[in-house]
Each structure stands twice: as C-alpha cells, then as structure tokens.
Amino acid sequence: MGFFIFINKNNMGIIKEEITDNKIKHYYSSTNLKSAEYNVIKKELIIDKGRIEFKNISFSYDDSLVLDNISFTIPNGEKTALVGLSGSGKSTILALLLHFFDNYSGEILIDNQNIKHHNLESIRENMSLVTQETILFNDTIINNIKYGNLNASASDIKNAIELAGVDEFSFNLPKKLETIVGESGVKLSGGQRQRIAIARAILKNSQILILDEATSSLDNLTENKIQESLKKLMKNKTSLVVAHRLSTIEDANLIYVLEKGKIIDSGSHLKLLQSCSLYKKLHLKEKLEDEN
C-alpha cells in the first residue's frame, strides 16, 4: 500500500494521507496549510518546465535506512516510472517529493529549486496526484471534480469530464453529474472513482503529475480503459509513476528499478528486460499471473 492524499488547492478541504513503506506510517489531518514554518518564512516554488532531480538522498525511519544515497533525474515533459519489490523505497520517494518529510540528507530539486527552501502549499499546488485510494467527498460527482480547481470555467470542467471519460458512466445515472457519490464514493465502482480522480487532476492542470499504483485495484478491462484516460492526462507533463503492473509503464521514457533503497538499474522497458535480472523476474511473474 502506498500513501493517499487529497489536498484542496485553495486550502478549503481536508487533507488525508497515509504513508506505508518499510515501516513508514503517518497520518495527518488539517484544514490549514499556511503554517509559519512553510508559508511565511519560506518562499514560493515557481515551476517552469517541471524537471525533478534527487541528489544523494538518504532517508531513515525509526533507525531503519529506507533510501541509501540515491541520485536520479525525472526529465520534464516525459513519463518516468519507479518499479521494485514492496519495501524497496518507491512510496518513500513520492513522500519526500510531496514534502511529507524533510529530515533527509541530500537535495530534491524542481527546476533547480531546492524544495526545502520553499513553502509546502506552493510545492503541492504544482503537483497533481492520482492514487489507488481515491478520496471522494459525500457530494455530487461534479463537485468532487471541481475540488481540483474551484475557479475553473464551465468549459474547462466539461473538457476534464470528457477527457477522463466521466460522462461515459454518469450519463446513465438518474441524476447524471448531480449524483451523490456517498461517503468516500461508496456508491460508485473503483473504475468510476478513478475517472473522477483523473478528471480532478486534469482540471488542476499541474505541470507535475504523480501516479501511485493508480490502477492496481482494478480488473484488467477497467484498467485498460483508465490507462487511456491517464495517457491524455500525462500528455506534455512531467509524470512520475509508481507501477504495480509493468504493463502500465512499458511505454515510459525512463524506468528506474529499486531494491532495498538503492537504484540498481534504469532504462527503457526493452533495455531492462535485457540488463536487469530483477526487472525480468517481475515481468515474468506478471506474465504468468495473467496467463492463469
């Protein structure tokens, strides 16, 4: 299980997060991101291209080393993936990028700006996050989508709904987009909840997109449909994907393979099939599971 979070851009919503990776677990709930530490003393992060760089990052939790002096780059405007066994450090990398922790050594740079020197609100405003645990409020479909950008125009909302395929299922509902989804979206299927999350991310239109095993809990047919929506969302954006199924990241421009807090190999899907034994094992395991 990775972490999950929903952050209202205008600080009017509830933050809910869970981080679980190699004994990491942290819950935080708040309605005010504007703390003195992050928003008064520190300056705003300005995103231009969205290039991300981890430089010599080490991080420990409860005296357990989770990331061990890793350095890597996430090119702007491209799809980059992280793969590895459970506990290898994938979710921790996302947690550090989203600034859940800052007690690490090394630097995390976005467009050559060290995120430790910038306020929390501006960091997260520049990122859109879609996870396997979609956070929905007991409100209408349309209002849950609007939380991505409360100032969005009607045409922008319509565009997000169509690109994410929300209209494909909402059209058949009695109240259509005015349908109440229930607490945490209980009245909708997993695929329908994911489409709302994608529409929300499209509406937010951040330069940096983070996908944390966003389709791992879906059946293959639904997953394939969601992947088509995700491709539209990722177009021209810096995308970082934590993959549960390798089939979802075969088209990634760059894949990093993690093991025990270290990056052991990187490259394209085809390159890693030739050069990385762990990647080959993960690929074979998935293939056998699909056949069964």
C-alpha closest to that of 229 among 211, 255, 245: 211
Against a cut of 0.75, is the pTM above it?
A: yes
pLDDT tens, position by position, 42-86: 788 988 899 999 999 999 988 889 999 999 999 999 999 999 998
- The CATH homologous superfamily for domain 17-291 is P-loop containing nucleotide triphosphate hydrolases (3.40.50.300)
The contacts of residue 17 (CB under 8 Å, 6+ apart) are 3, 4, 5, 26, 27, 28, 100
Number of other CB atoms surrounding residue 111 within 10 Å: 18
Residue 157, token pair as written in the block: 């909302």
pLDDT band at 191 (very low <50, low <70, confident <90, very high): confident
Domain boundaries, the chain: 17-291
Distance set, CA 112 to CA 51, 109, 115, 125, 263 (Å): 8, 5, 9, 18, 22
Q: In whole angstroms, give the CA distance from residue 272 to residue 255.
A: 8
pLDDT tens, position by position, 96-147: 999 888 899 999 999 999 999 998 888 888 898 888 777 888 999 999 999 8
CB 109 within 8 A of CB 71: no
Return the SS3 of 287.
helix
Predicted confidence (pLDDT) at residue 280 exceeds the cutoff of 70: yes
The contacts of residue 73 (CB under 8 Å, 6+ apart) are 51, 52, 53, 54
The alpha carbon of 69 is separated from its chain's Cα centroid by a whole number of angstroms, namely 23
